[in-house]
Chain A
Amino acid sequence: MTSVAMEYGLLLAALLFALGLVGIMLRRNLIFVLLSLEIMLNAAGLAFIVAGARWASADGQVMFMFILAVAAAEVAVGLALILQHYRRYNTLDADYASKMRG
Chain B
Amino acid sequence: MTLVFYVASAIALLSTIMVVTRYNAVHALLYLVVSLISIALIFFVLGAPFIALLEVIIYAGAIMVLFLFVIMMLNLGEIAVQKEKEWLPKQMWIGPGILSGILFVLIVYTLLQGEQQWAIVEMIGPAEVGAELFGPYIIGIQLAGLMLLAGLIVATLLSKRVKFKEKTEKENK
Give Cα A15 to B10, complex, Å: 11
- Complex contact A88–B168 (CB within 8 A): yes
- Complex contact B46–A50 (CB within 8 A): yes
Q: Which residues of B contact A27 (CB under 8 A)?
A: 20
Report the contact-size class of chain B (Cβ under 8 Å from the partner): 35 or more
Measured between C-beta atoms, what is the minimum distance from B54 to chain A in Å? Answer: 6
- Complex contact A61–B129 (CB within 8 A): yes
- Contact residues of B between 44 and 88, Cβ < 8 Å to A: 46-48, 50-51, 54, 58-59, 62-63, 66-67, 70-71, 73-74
> In the complex, how many residues of chain A place their beta carbon closer than 8 angstroms to a beta carbon of chain B?
63
Q: Which residues of A contact B70 (CB under 8 A)?
A: 31, 79, 82-83
Is chain A's interface secondary structure helix, strand, loop, or mixed overall?
helix
- Complex contact A62–B132 (CB within 8 A): yes
Q: Which residues of B contact A42 (CB under 8 A)?
A: 36, 39, 59
Digit string of A38-58 for contact with B (CB within 8 Å is 1, else 0)? 110010001001101110111
**Residue A97 is within 8 A (CB to CB) of chain B in the complex:** no
Q: Which residues of A contact B151 (CB under 8 A)?
A: 72-74, 76-77
- Complex contact B63–A46 (CB within 8 A): no
Interface residues, chain B, with chain A CB atoms under 8 Å away: 2, 5-6, 9, 12-13, 16-17, 19-20, 25, 28-29, 32, 35-36, 39, 42-43, 46-48, 50-51, 54, 58-59, 62-63, 66-67, 70-71, 73-74, 120-122, 124, 128-129, 131-133, 137, 140, 144, 147-148, 150-152, 154-155, 157-159, 161-162, 164, 168, 171-172
Interface residues, chain A, with chain B CB atoms under 8 Å away: 1-2, 4-5, 8-9, 12, 15-16, 19-20, 22-23, 26-27, 29, 31-32, 34-36, 38-39, 42, 46, 49-50, 52-54, 56-62, 64-66, 68-77, 79-84, 86-90, 92, 99
